[in-house]
Amino acid sequence: MASRLACRECHFVQEGGGVERESCQNCGSTSLTEDWAGYVVVAHPEDSEIAEEMEITEPGTYALKVR
Protein backbone atom coordinates (compact mmCIF):
# COMPACT_ATOMS: atom_id res chain seq x y z
CA MET A 1 0.00 0.00 0.00
CA ALA A 2 1.39 3.39 -1.00
CA SER A 3 1.76 6.11 1.58
CA ARG A 4 -0.14 9.37 1.37
CA LEU A 5 1.92 12.48 0.72
CA ALA A 6 0.98 16.08 1.45
CA CYS A 7 2.28 19.04 -0.51
CA ARG A 8 4.15 21.57 1.62
CA GLU A 9 2.96 24.37 -0.67
CA CYS A 10 -0.81 23.82 -1.08
CA HIS A 11 -1.43 20.96 1.47
CA PHE A 12 -3.04 18.73 -1.19
CA VAL A 13 -2.95 15.04 -0.14
CA GLN A 14 -2.27 12.33 -2.73
CA GLU A 15 -1.18 8.70 -2.90
CA GLY A 16 2.60 8.43 -2.86
CA GLY A 17 4.96 6.20 -4.78
CA GLY A 18 6.02 5.88 -8.37
CA VAL A 19 7.70 8.36 -10.69
CA GLU A 20 4.37 9.96 -11.59
CA ARG A 21 3.90 10.98 -7.94
CA GLU A 22 7.11 12.98 -7.51
CA SER A 23 5.20 16.24 -7.82
CA CYS A 24 1.92 17.60 -6.49
CA GLN A 25 -1.07 16.82 -8.69
CA ASN A 26 -2.65 20.11 -7.61
CA CYS A 27 0.10 22.76 -7.85
CA GLY A 28 3.08 20.93 -9.36
CA SER A 29 5.42 21.47 -6.39
CA THR A 30 8.04 18.79 -5.74
CA SER A 31 8.02 19.48 -1.99
CA LEU A 32 5.98 16.49 -0.73
CA THR A 33 6.09 14.91 2.71
CA GLU A 34 4.67 12.02 4.72
CA ASP A 35 4.84 14.23 7.84
CA TRP A 36 1.35 15.71 8.05
CA ALA A 37 -1.67 15.54 10.37
CA GLY A 38 -5.42 15.85 9.98
CA TYR A 39 -7.26 16.48 6.76
CA VAL A 40 -10.34 18.03 5.24
CA VAL A 41 -12.16 16.91 2.10
CA VAL A 42 -13.42 19.83 0.03
CA ALA A 43 -16.08 19.01 -2.57
CA HIS A 44 -17.24 22.52 -3.49
CA PRO A 45 -14.49 25.04 -2.69
CA GLU A 46 -16.55 27.93 -4.05
CA ASP A 47 -19.15 27.35 -1.30
CA SER A 48 -16.78 26.47 1.56
CA GLU A 49 -15.63 28.80 4.33
CA ILE A 50 -12.84 26.36 5.20
CA ALA A 51 -11.66 26.36 1.56
CA GLU A 52 -11.68 30.16 1.61
CA GLU A 53 -9.65 30.24 4.85
CA MET A 54 -7.13 27.71 3.48
CA GLU A 55 -7.08 29.37 0.03
CA ILE A 56 -8.28 26.17 -1.66
CA THR A 57 -9.69 26.56 -5.16
CA GLU A 58 -9.83 22.93 -6.37
CA PRO A 59 -11.84 20.02 -4.91
CA GLY A 60 -9.82 17.37 -3.11
CA THR A 61 -8.29 16.22 0.16
CA TYR A 62 -6.06 18.70 2.02
CA ALA A 63 -3.85 18.30 5.08
CA LEU A 64 -4.54 20.61 8.01
CA LYS A 65 -0.96 20.55 9.34
CA VAL A 66 2.12 19.90 7.18
CA ARG A 67 5.61 19.75 8.63
Looking at residue 2, what is its pLDDT?
Answer: 67
Query: Would you state the pLDDT for residue 60?
Result: 98
Q: Quick: pLDDT tens for 11-25.
A: 999 998 665 568 999
State which residues of the chain have pLDDT below 50: none
Supply the pLDDT for residue 59: 98
| Three-class DSSP labels, 1-67 | CCCEEEECCCCEEEECCCHHHCCCCCCCCCCEECCEEEEEEECCHHHCHHHHHHCCCCCEEEEEEEC
Full set of structural domains in the chain with CATH: 4-66 (2.20.28.90)
Residue 22's pLDDT is: 86
